[in-house]
Amino acid sequence: MPPKIKTQAFLATLPLFKEFAPAELDRLSASTTELHVPRGEILFNKGDPANGFYLVIYGQVKLSFVTPSGQEKVVEIIGPGGSFGEALMFMEKPYIVMAQTLADTMLLHVAKEAVFDELAREPDFAKKMLAGLSRRLHSLISDVESYSLQSGTQRVIGYLLRQDDAQAADSGATKLTLPVSKAIVASRLNLTPEHFSRILHDLQTLGLISVDGRDVHIVDGAAPPGPPPGAGAAPAPPPARAGPPPRLRASPGGRRRRIGGVG
């Protein structure tokens, strides 16, 4: 059994609670349960009562539901420092998704009664809870916009670049590791696994990425090679082909990196 953490100390590191006084953290931690959950376990099912909310210390939790056709739709993947379950706790309604761990995970479950008591004592706590819920709403709206306005290829490229940024890649050829299986990534992007695999294959064919299992290399646009020694000056390059401008992203240090003009 892993050693128990000092709940007050961990809560104090989270943006939601970092302004709390020690006495307030003591009250909250008294109603907080530490959970060690192995990979693949279900935390709650759709329809279960929402008796509090969860904070992830390490590991990953998948929020999903099953469509009428029997397919799983991944709504969100929560990593360390993230939280979930707040909205339905406030609405006092049952969960509308299921939660399942994708890795061995440690969580804190904060009881609803303790949250409501602190809201009554500390108005600033309400502002922070609202800020967290607003960020979640903004993320969901961005998802709907992506599904409605972007092609599958654009969604995959955007996801890979966000993962690249999150993993603090160096300049040059970039290697990132998908945090979850390809099937889960596909569901998160509202794609079938087959469609997701085809898009990765197409991007490889274009020379933009290479894929080895869950490792993805994003290849920078390289300068054309020079002539071999003694061959004289290189011929002038062909005129630029008309087409959409290449997509760019900001990389560490403020540079822009291209990943190709795929629409």
Supply the CATH number for residue 92's domain: 2.60.120.10
**Residues 13 and 25 both lie in one domain:** yes
Q: What range does the domain containing 184 cover? A: 152-223+248-253
Q: Which of 107, 130, 149 is the last residue of a domain?
A: 149
**Residues 127 and 22 both lie in one domain:** yes
**Residues 132 and 169 both lie in one domain:** no
- What gap in Å lies between CA 263 and CA 165, rounded to an integer? 21
- What gap in Å lies between CA 39 and CA 22, rounded to an integer? 33
**Residues 179 and 133 both lie in one domain:** no
- What gap in Å lies between CA 193 and CA 175, rounded to an integer? 22
**Residues 13 and 124 both lie in one domain:** yes
Q: Which of 149, 166, 190 is the last residue of a domain?
A: 149
Q: Does the residue 116 lie in any domain?
A: yes
49 Cβ neighbours under 8 A, 6+ residues apart: 94, 95
Return the CA Rg of the chain. 23
Q: Does the residue 114 lie in any domain?
A: yes
Partnered with residue 54 across adjacent β-strands are 84, 109
The distance in angstroms from the start CA to the end CA of the chain is 50
Continuous segment of H or E residues that includes residue 116: helix 112-121
Q: Does the residue 260 lie in any domain?
A: no
Q: Which of 100, 120, 149 is the last residue of a domain?
A: 149
Burial grade of 149 (CB within 10 A; 0-12, 13-18, 19 or more)? exposed
The per-residue pLDDT for 91 is 87
Tokens representing residue 152 in the block: 């599958």
The per-residue pLDDT for 171 is 43
Continuous segment of H or E residues that includes residue 154: helix 152-166
Q: Does the residue 115 lie in any domain?
A: yes
Q: Does the residue 27 lie in any domain?
A: yes
Nearest to 181 by CA among 15, 39, 80: 39
Sign of CA dihedral 254, 259, 260, 262: negative
Nearest to 77 by CA among 45, 95, 54, 100: 100
- What gap in Å lies between CA 112 and CA 117, rounded to an integer? 9
> What is the number of other CB atoms lying within 10 angstroms of the CB of residue 105?
24
Q: Does the residue 218 lie in any domain?
A: yes
| Residue 14 CA neighbour count, 13 Å, CB half | 21
Nearest to 184 by CA among 103, 102, 107: 102
**Residues 18 and 120 both lie in one domain:** yes
- What gap in Å lies between CA 98 and CA 35, rounded to an integer? 17
**Residues 136 and 156 both lie in one domain:** no
**Residues 102 and 27 both lie in one domain:** yes
The per-residue pLDDT for 232 is 44
**Residues 14 and 141 both lie in one domain:** yes
Into how many domains does the chain fold?
Answer: 2
Q: Does the residue 2 lie in any domain?
A: no
**Residues 12 and 142 both lie in one domain:** yes
| Residue numbers in the chain where pLDDT is lower than 50 | 169-173, 222-237, 240-258, 261, 263
In this structure, are residues 89 and 96 in contact, taking their beta carbons and an 8 Å threshold? no
The per-residue pLDDT for 250 is 42
The per-residue pLDDT for 88 is 87
Instruction: Quote the pTM value.
Output: 0.67
- What gap in Å lies between CA 204 and CA 201, rounded to an integer? 5
**Residues 199 and 133 both lie in one domain:** no
**Residues 24 and 79 both lie in one domain:** yes
